[in-house]
Structure 1
């Protein structure tokens, strides 16, 4: 018998416009069945890895830590029948990145279409099916998932109220996200979300790893640029987590991010 996570369900989320199918993984609060309240929703990318990990961390922090507000968790899966590499390369990136493509990478640059799918199909489905608070949606993404979150923040103001962005791939396609921020026109709707960036202190060049991307410097510069462009309405901060690299930073940023976004109500 396969192991399953108690209190979770898998919901089909077909994407006919994209000509492929997805699923969402859903975890409801312990008091959902006996309550009439509406709950904030946390959407996390890379669900096969991130959903069970974040669920475990949230439960631990809530029961044995500072406590969290009850929330609905939604994991965003990869396309059915595809590997995570192929699915996330296509869905989480903003450009084709032709000059840097490697064999087996598949297609890049369809994050705008994937964000359409989230906005038009996934989020409305979740709001219809569960007692949600549509004004309180938290986006969580790491690496390419963080890159997708940056694009959602810039191009879809109001879609999410909070962003927890870990080690976003701001280096992608010769720092395309930085160029996109510079090119954002003053007439576009203002960004009004609450945003926290997290990056590991070891995610930068060092004597042991001279070829590392300088993700610490990129993140700090990007946050400074956001503050200059959006002096009001956007609550943004970057935190460098000591002793963490790109592989180890996710559990720690999830812990800090959830405590920040969803503190237990008094």
Structure 2
């Protein structure tokens, strides 16, 4: 009997550990959030849309501005938290936050490289992060139409969203998607928050697109907040070029903003903020915070 008891003790201990670890793996759910599946009909792909509602949404009866956030896997919970904190502690309007996910079944880099880039690069050495599938590029125009023609109607139908006050938020490749929308259908959003845009992409393709837009249009009706980290510049001794390896992203963004403003579009408003001591990985929360304040702080009802 004594031997049986000693043999049972390790078994009981193991069962307790399993029970404890099962409890520890319980998922943490963000309050007032929903996940919706949506089929991109033209793209023939499936996505999810993450939605965070203001705390007072159920009781207020109000309509709210809508924040559309690219790279939702990272940016959605961050944007939700920052927007909530700015409301509670800085008096900013509450917003509905909509996160745009990567395509179902696709690796994140594969999905964003395809959906957020404006062109197929003329030269590249990219490797796919999906075995058996070559890297894909250049579908930002089609993905942008998916947002405006399919995501917008769903949000307008299902939520009390003020679709006259839509804000786009992107960072890095996500900002390329924002620039694609800005230079093809600027009225898609009332405000753009664009952090650290990868203007080096495809040997500076977006510089060419910006000049092409200016040649055909007399106005660019948009409000844009550009933000970037002060450390996103070229290392000393290196020669700047329109390549990822030798890009000076701060200089690129200053040049792009200067080109936009040089055309003197009557209804374009831009602001550029360089956040010193921040790099590409750390700057996004600051860009989002200041970009929201630039639009919503003066828009309270």
Displacement after TM superposition at 1:3 (Å): 1.2
Determine the structure 1 residue equivalent to 2:248. Answer: 214
Q: Check if 1:129 corresponds to 2:158.
A: yes
- The alignment status of 1:45 with 2:74, answered yes or no, reads no
CA contact (8 A) 1:143 1:168 kept: yes
Mean CA deviation greater in 91-100 or 207-216 = 207-216
Q: CA deviation at 1:195?
A: 0.4
- Higher relative contact order structure (alpha carbons within 8 Å, sequence separation ≥ 6): 1
Task: Output the TM-score relative to the length of structure 1.
Answer: 0.94
Task: Name structure 1 gaps, 5 residues minimum.
Answer: none
Of 53, 59, 66, the residue aligned with 1:34 is: 59
Aligned length: 265
Q: Deviations over 1:140-176 (max 9, x none)?
A: 0000001110111110121100000000011110110
Inter-partner Cα distance in structure 2 for 1:230 and 1:89: 32
Alignment equivalent of 2:196, drawn from 155, 158, 167: 167
Query: Unpaired segments of 5 or more residues in structure 2?
Result: 1-25, 130-134, 240-244
Of structures 1 and 2, the larger Rg is shown by: 2
Tell whether the 8 Å contact from 2:220 to 2:265 is kept in structure 1 after alignment. Answer: no
Where do 1:57-96 residues align within 5 Å?
57-64=82-89, 66-96=90-120
Structure having the larger proportion of residues in helix: 2
Structure 1 stretches (4+) deviating beyond 4 angstroms? 185-189, 208-212
Aligned to 2:39: 14
What is the rounded CA distance, in whole Å, between the counterparts of 1:71 and 1:169 in structure 2?
A: 27
Q: 3-state SS of the aligned residue for 2:58?
A: helix
The alpha carbon displacement at 1:207 in A equals 3.6
* Residues 38-82 of structure 1 deviation map (CA, whole Å, 9 limit, x = unaligned): 111000000010000111122222223x22101110000000011
Is the 1:196–1:257 contact (alpha carbons within 8 Å) kept by the matching residues of 2? yes
The equivalent of 1:262 in structure 2 is 296
- 2:27, 2:195 → 1: CA distance? 31
Asked if the contact 2:233/2:248 (under 8 Å) is kept, the reply is yes
